Amino acid sequence: MSPKIKIEDYLNSGEKISIVLEGNEVSKEKVLQLLDMLKIIGGKIEDESKEERRIRSNKEEVWDIIKEFFGDGTWFSIKDLYNISKDRLGLKITSISTYISRLVNEGRLVKKGRKPYTRYRVKVIYVKG
């Protein structure tokens, strides 16, 4: 039985994208390529100007940072995310915590543990075929 990975994302317009990758040769590199493709589909180009980035919501900016640094399924804490994003977004740690909670409620992130050891990761759905 070959592994099957399902990746879901939401565009800024609210549309939901679901991608299924199945086969014996599923690798981390292929999953990361799919995540890069989602950036392209969503119109998230590396050369965005600061003006274009201000139009987007802070929650989506936080989500982009999560996908960029932890999109491979790595567990992270609120403090890990804060340390990466503080210069880029200038948000307080309490704001980061709020956005993380919203992303968990939307089903984009998985949560484990209790304070102060709570960890999060991008939700990847494995479906047996």
Confidence of residue 1 (pLDDT cuts 50, 70, 90): low
pTM of the model: 0.55
pLDDT digits (tens, 9 = 90+) for 55-72: 568 888 899 999 999 988
Domain ranges of the chain: 4-126
Percent of the chain whose predicted confidence (pLDDT) is above 70? 81
- What is residue 99's three-state secondary structure? helix
Higher pLDDT, residue 84 or 4? 84
Answer for the pair 118, 77: CB distance below 8 angstroms, yes or no. yes
Instruction: Count other C-beta atoms under 10 Å from residue 81's C-beta.
Output: 22
CATH fold for the domain made of 4-126: Arc Repressor Mutant, subunit A (1.10.10)
| Residue 112 bridge partners (DSSP) | 119
Does the pLDDT of residue 50 top 60, yes or no?
A: no
Whole-angstrom Cα distance, residue 99 to residue 118?
15
